[in-house]
Structure 1
Amino acid sequence: MGNNTPTADKDQVFKDEIKKVSDFKFGSKVASVFDDMVSRSVPFYGEIQRMVAELATDFIQESSDVYDLGCSTGTTMIGMNEFVPDNIRFIGIDDSQDMLNKCDSKLKEAGFKRPYELRIADLNEGVNIQNASVVVLCLTLQFVRPISRQKLLNTIFKGLKPGGALIIVEKILAEDSNFNRDFIKYYYNYKRRNHYSELEISQKREALENVLIPYKLSENHHILREAGFAHCETFFKWYNFSGIIAVKNKI
């Protein structure tokens, strides 16, 4: 995104063999290399961030708040900062204090001037959303337990101002399960092109198995409509990755 974004350290979290791979956690080790990890692991990540910022700009309302749920290291906020009005406050929420620390330092290094607040919270336990015109869930909903997702979306819908938007980026399952194997194959080829080894790919897959639970694109659309969003549209799709915007009706 912006030229002021600091360069990330190289992701080597799964480079060496791990005897017993534990569930993936967003601790200090991951936080320190997260920007490199996500840019090499998510196809068109830079373009997705630009699209999120553009979409947000068209739905942000004066003197409102913009929430980034699962804000990680702040890349989405830095991207939106270049487009949105000055009288908007950003609120970043994450369940990892290590991520929030990295986010805060990155915002300061990027010369962030607008008001912002960083909060630690587990989205599975609920979240407080108020005065929001835009809420972003960028590669976040997939880490929320399935039993908690509908409640989270209901809360977001309630906290959005009329005409506000929820922007979601997710890893997804194919609508037809016959394509899942192929899409995963193409995805791992993408990771190989970005210089991840077979060991790194397999160990990260094992670490994510119990914590990243994707839905089909249609299932994500369904729970958004169940939450009350009248207008839902897919704005990005690459094999098993997608972006969705959902808009709350104006009164």
Structure 2
Amino acid sequence: MSKQPDRLFAQPLEQVPDFVFNEDVVQVFPDMIKRSVPGYPTIVENLGVLAARFAQPHSALYDLGASLGAVSQALRRHVRAEGCRVIAVDNSAAMVERCRQYLTAQDSMFQELLAVQVVEADILSLPFEPASVVAMNFTLQFIAPEQRLELLGRIRQALLPGGALILSEKLRFADDQQQQLLNDLHLDFKRANGYSELEIAQKRSAIEHVMKPDTLETHQQRLRAAGFSKVVPWFQCLNFASLIALP
């Protein structure tokens, strides 16, 4: 399956529309995410390693906001607990179709992989099965802030004792100087990966109304309010981080 370079914002647009995960984004998403999110490959691969520690036999492993299924693939590579199955969920029809294709291709390359189900659904109305691992990789930030606590509460109720939620998010910072520094460094990261000033500016305009990052402290407080007993940051690169939340 061909992977196209991300040139979605390379030409001047009279009006920049809000960012949506449509077919155009699907075509370039692997290149976009690699060039936009510092540490993304490390996070994805280690989500599989972390999941292998918390996965319990005959339980569900959720990949919420699965996009093209990179996390689902990592879960299937690393988890060996008997009878587990991966449930990959996304609300974009274009993403779901391509995700199924990628996971089918993975089946042809590896033996004895976990069963996987790809579901097109809104995670806000998804009925959760008992789960030992729930992964949300840069997904919560696209959900309306007032709906985040209720969703996390439902995930907490679905988690089995000894399970874990692994939450990766872009962060904002309460300290203005820290926010400015890490934002500038993130822009430098994008420039180093070949994005022009026009691409950076237009992508920022497209995404600013649909992606609402929180501070690390807000994440920690909300997760505790949702019923999690401990929140452990395990990774940060610039203004992107990943947390383990334990029941």
TM-score, with normalisation over the residues of structure 2?
0.94
The amino acid that maps onto 1:143 is: F
Q: Trace 1:127-142 onto structure 2 (pairs within 5 A).
A: 127-142=126-141
Separation (CA, whole Å) in 2 of partners of 1:7 and 1:139: 24
Kindly indicate whether the alpha-carbon contact (under 8 Å) linking 1:175 and 1:217 is maintained by their aligned counterparts in 2. no
Provide structure 2 residue ranges, at least 5 long, that are not aligned to the other structure. Answer: none
1:122 has 2:122 as partner: yes
Note the C-alpha offset of 1:122: 2.1
Q: Trace 1:21-170 onto structure 2 (pairs within 5 A).
A: 21-85=16-80, 87-111=83-107, 113-123=113-123, 125-170=124-169
Deviations 1:163-213 (A, max 9, x none): 110001100112422211121110010000000111110000000010000
Any idea what SS the aligned residue of 2:18 has? coil
1:190 to 1:20, Cα distance in 2 relative to 1, 3 A: same
Note the C-alpha offset of 1:7: 5.9
Note the C-alpha offset of 1:110: 1.7
**How large is the RMSD of aligned CA atoms in angstroms?**
1.3
Any idea what SS the aligned residue of 2:118 has? strand
Instruction: Identify which range, 106-115 or 203-212, moves more after superposition.
Output: 106-115
Any idea what SS the aligned residue of 1:110 has? helix
Separation (CA, whole Å) in 2 of partners of 1:157 and 1:165: 9
The amino acid that maps onto 1:32 is: Q
Kindly indicate whether the alpha-carbon contact (under 8 Å) linking 2:38 and 2:238 is maintained by their aligned counterparts in 1. no
The amino acid that maps onto 1:96 is: S
1:8 has 2:20 as partner: no
1:7 to 1:133, Cα distance in 2 relative to 1, 3 A: farther
Instruction: Identify which range, 174-183 or 193-202, moves more after superposition.
Output: 174-183
2:219 matched residue in structure 1: 220
2:205 matched residue in structure 1: 206
Separation (CA, whole Å) in 1 of partners of 2:6 and 2:103: 21
Q: Percent identity?
A: 36
Kindly indicate whether the alpha-carbon contact (under 8 Å) linking 1:170 and 1:243 is maintained by their aligned counterparts in 2. yes
Count of residues in Structure 1 that have an aligned counterpart in Structure 2 = 242
Note the C-alpha offset of 1:52: 1.1
The amino acid that maps onto 2:9 is: F
Separation (CA, whole Å) in 2 of partners of 1:7 and 1:175: 41
1:238 matched residue in structure 2: 237
Instruction: Identify which range, 126-135 or 202-211, moves more after superposition.
Output: 126-135
1:3 matched residue in structure 2: none
1:7 to 1:242, Cα distance in 2 relative to 1, 3 A: farther
Instruction: Identify which range, 10-19 or 60-69, moves more after superposition.
Output: 10-19
Kindly indicate whether the alpha-carbon contact (under 8 Å) linking 2:61 and 2:87 is maintained by their aligned counterparts in 1. yes
Separation (CA, whole Å) in 2 of partners of 1:231 and 1:7: 42
Deviations 1:36-67 (A, max 9, x none): 11011111111111221111110000011100
Separation (CA, whole Å) in 2 of partners of 1:78 and 1:102: 13
Any idea what SS the aligned residue of 1:71 has? coil
Separation (CA, whole Å) in 2 of partners of 1:195 and 1:88: 40
Instruction: Identify which range, 89-98 or 78-87, moves more after superposition.
Output: 78-87
1:172 matched residue in structure 2: 171
Note the C-alpha offset of 1:126: 2.7
Kindly indicate whether the alpha-carbon contact (under 8 Å) linking 1:231 and 1:247 is maintained by their aligned counterparts in 2. yes
Provide structure 1 residue ranges, at least 5 long, that are not aligned to the other structure. Answer: 1-5
1:183 matched residue in structure 2: 182
Any idea what SS the aligned residue of 1:92 has? strand
